[in-house]
Chains A and B, each alone.
Chain A
Amino acid sequence: MIKLKVNGKDRSVDVDPETPLLWVIRESLGLTGTKFGCGMAQCGACTVHLDGEAVRSCVTPVSRAEGRPVTTIEGLGADLGGPLQQAWIAEDVPQCGYCQSGQIMAAAVLLRENPNPTDKDVDDAMTGNICRCGTYQRIRCAIHLAAKIKAGGKK
């Protein structure tokens, strides 16, 4: 049994310790917002937070997550998730939507570390996340908007 803490809840799973965290999240825990895109850390669709850092869950063995907090799109808190989701809706970012959980999880770490990112900061933080529908321009606008919303919320 491997003990996990996902979105604040304690969970135990009986799987091969080498199983990528992605498949444990999706299949054992039923949290399907985290997506399978490439299986080799090339596209970012599987991005989750492990100890608060953005990781590619498709190449992270579940054993590495044992006892450490994991956050998925379903558990992204109101502090970061709220402004990001609000901004994503305001800019009408998603098309097919498949990559957007990963995009938002990557953007959440960016905004936490850097409350007012430049375009270059957005490039650096988001270039690991592929969007085949090409929503990059809107993602960029939405990140800037989310930064504003978040800053406004603190006033």
Chain B
Amino acid sequence: MNDIVNLSRRDVLKAGAFAGGGLILGVTLPGFVRNAAAQQGTTNFAPNAFVRIGLDESVTVIVPHSEMGQGAYTSVAMMVAEELEADWTKVRAESAPVDPAYNHTAFGIQMTGGSTSTWSEWKRLREAGAAARQMLITAAAEKWDVDPAGCRAENGRILHVSGRVLRFGELVERASRLQPPKEVILKDPKRFKIIGKATKRLDTPEKTNGKAIFGIDVSVPGMKVALVARPPVFGGKVKSFTADHAKAVPGVRHVLEIPRGVAVVADGFWPAKLGREALEIEWDDGPLASLDTRTQGEQYAALAREAGAVARKEGDAAAAFDSAAKKVEAVYDLPYLAHAAMEPLNCVADVREDSCEVWVGTQFQTGDRAAAAQEAGLKPEQVKLHTTLLGGGFGRRAVIDSHFVREAVQISKAVKAPVKVIWTREDDMRGGFYRPRAYHTVKAGVDTAGAPAAWEHHIVCQSFMAGTPFEGFMVKEGVDETAVEGARDNPYEIPNIRVVWHHAPPGVPTLWWRSVGHSHNAFIVETIIDELAHAAGRDPREYRLGLLGKNPRIKRALELATEKAGWGNPAPEGRGRGVAVHESFGSVVAHVIEASIGKDGRPKVHRVVCAIDCGPVVNPDTVRAQMESAIAFGLTAALYGEITFERGRVRERNFHDYQMLRMNEMPAVEVHIVPDAEKMGGVGEPGVPPVAPALANALFAITGKRLRHLPIRAEDLKKG
């Protein structure tokens, strides 16, 4: 490896963001300049650093990934600290500035998503830590005038066989003058002291005393607060508006039209809100004025019968279905879903003559900075974007058109002052960029021996990749990966299978949403396979295991979850037990759910036993936390989540009609990690897809009813 640079040697750094001195090491990987990074036009070699060691012994890890609750700051810092042999109590994490050096090692732009933060840094940041360790050893050996072979690093110090010891801080100045090592030597994983150990998050203390700063908490001198009145129908536009009453609200300073609506700029949130309520706007609703959930469903049903893009084809599914011994035919309708992060969207922008600063909780730094530059009329390198903590992301803060950043920049530029745009909960809920609605039809059958013979699966949903810079990556031969993921890769041995995607027309803005396509496709695959098991008169666990010959990893997770859940023993009185297993984002998760029907006729979830194979684990407690989180997220969607339309307008608006799982509904969750697993995968998303099907299968065990609609409705559970 020859691409580590000692950034302490660069004057630009000493004068810039990392002023204060210390050893600063950066690593660039060959081939990182790809795609969007190239488009962005940034050619200067700007600061590029992951590790900063201070004279005060502090070790700061500069993390290229946003912290949105998934624990990225801690896991990434653990990797660096491990190789560096740092004293963990001295380690802190800091968000990276925007620079191609921090581009995602797999995606080529700076962003956070796809459950990748850990595995994508597994090489790069361990190497950054190891290089720093080697340089500190070299510095100590020089100072002592000894052979470096006799030196080793341990707990923030360099030790020599003679018994001499120097702390990292004492070596900073000398190490800063060194060339990085030509060859970086990584530790033998057997000697890991931090990686693999349950480690407390670095960001917990500040998240329990009110000191953590999210985007919405940023305040800069002279800042105004803006709310934007956006069209009530997606694709609508302002026809005309009257601002007289809004301007009469004390504290309102400006009312202006921007491309996405009318902005009211005031001294604070409350006058901005009163001002917005006082606006009189005539809207042109545009082509979606009559959008309605019911008629859209009919449109999707018609689309499912037309020719689509074939994502997978083996054998002859249609002929095999016709001759199957037992058949299952099903139509599923799964709704649009909002992310509903606890922190509503917001962005602070301060546009000056020749510079622009943006403070934002974002998952999409490269795109957001480029968008801010475009709106401000500046070059990307004139825009300084600060990534704050994110009060939840789930995909909503990785917005391809950067709309919530653009708005803030447009308004700041117009009013010549720093502006914080705050979205109300209603703005956020009705602001679109939902998980696509997905309409599925399935025809599946088993042969006389009970083995699956046919599987014909049609998926109707929108594409949020088509027409974006990601299209080249994500849409192959007319098939959008985010639409078919989890269905095309149906893991069961089925001789005749066809999976077809029908591209639903655009209109409602859609986006990734914590596991996206997997979140609906796993529901179909895992409930239909359960149904085939019952059709074959077989136990759903045994049936699945018998069809997973080529997938030992999926088998193992399924075996672990079912074993820990006591599968095979009768479920507690009044409860049903269901299982589902699904591979996504490089990991496999199986859930066994125990549920009952409450007196109100609604499902009650008592217990979830989860097993995950995510390969080598950096922080086992983060893996457990992400499974607990994914289960709550998946149950929220299964029990409540649904965005609907009437006369073009979103009906839901806040947490009273778009409900979240609450404390009294949280089941007991047990998480088991498959030990000694080999392939490193993600953990943020993979726990979500198997939740809804495991619940539906558990409810089937009680009611004998198969659920084809989410969220689960009480009437769908009535026996008979």
Contact = CB atoms under 8 A, between A and B. Distances in A.
B330 to A, nearest CB: 29
B63 interface: no
Contacts of B655: 37-38, 40, 42-43, 130
A96 B669 contact: no
Interface string A1-31: 0000000000000011011100100111011
Given A36-B216, A92-B201, A123-B664, A134 B207 contact: no
A38 B210 contact: no
A20 B270 contact: yes
A23 B270 contact: yes
B290 to A, nearest CB: 29
A33 B71 contact: no
Interface string B412-447: 000000000010111000000000000000000000
Describe B's contact surface by its main secondary structure: loop
B340 A132 contact: yes
A114 interface: no
A118 interface: no
Interface residues of A, number: 60
B344 A36 contact: yes
A99 interface: yes
Interface string A91-129: 011111111110010000000000000000011101111
A22 to B, nearest CB: 9
Given A37-B425, A40-B656, A97 B632 contact: no
Nearest to B668: A137
Contact of A32 (B210, B425, B666): B210
A90 B579 CA distance: 32
Contact of B628 (A32, A74, A123, A138): A138
Contacts of B200: 89, 92
A3 B631 CA distance: 45
B649 to A, nearest CB: 19
Nearest to A33: B210
Contacts of A26: 217, 269
B362 interface: no
A49 to B, nearest CB: 13
Interface string A48-75: 0000000000000000000000001110
Interface residues of B, number: 63
A38 B204 contact: no
B112 to A, nearest CB: 13
B250 interface: yes
B97 to A, nearest CB: 22
Interface in A125-147: 126-140
Nearest to B274: A16
A19 B342 contact: no
Nearest to A88: B208
B204 A31 contact: no
B341 interface: yes
Contacts, number: 184
B213 interface: yes
B380 interface: no
A123 to B, nearest CB: 4
Interface in B625-656: 625, 628-633, 636, 654-656
A35 interface: yes
Given A134-B629, A134-B633, A40 B208 contact: no
Nearest to A97: B207
- Taking each of B631, B633, B660, which has the highest tally of chain A beta carbons within 10 Å of its own beta carbon? B660
A19 B225 CA distance: 15
A110 to B, nearest CB: 11
A97 B212 contact: yes
Contact of B663 (A37, A45, A73, A136): A136
B625 A92 contact: yes
B211 interface: yes
B661 interface: yes
B208 A100 contact: yes
A101 B201 CA distance: 17
A18 B268 CA distance: 13
A43 B342 contact: yes
B628 A127 contact: no
Interface in B86-109: none
Nearest to B656: A42
Interface string B388-428: 01111110000000000000000000000000001011100
A97 B666 contact: no
Nearest to B199: A92
B341 A96 contact: yes
18 contacts: A16-B250, A16-B270, A23-B270, A26-B217, A32-B213, A33-B212, A36-B344, A39-B425, A42-B656, A89-B205, A94-B201, A96-B391, A96-B392, A98-B342, A127-B662, A134-B629, A134-B631, A135-B628
Given A96-B390, A133-B342, A136-B663, 13 more contacts: A16-B270, A36-B422, A38-B425, A97-B69, A97-B207, A97-B389, A98-B392, A124-B664, A129-B663, A132-B342, A132-B660, A133-B392, A133-B629
Interface of B: 68-71, 200-201, 203-214, 216-217, 219, 225, 250-251, 268-271, 340-344, 389-394, 422, 424-426, 621, 625, 628-633, 636, 654-656, 660-664, 666, 668-669
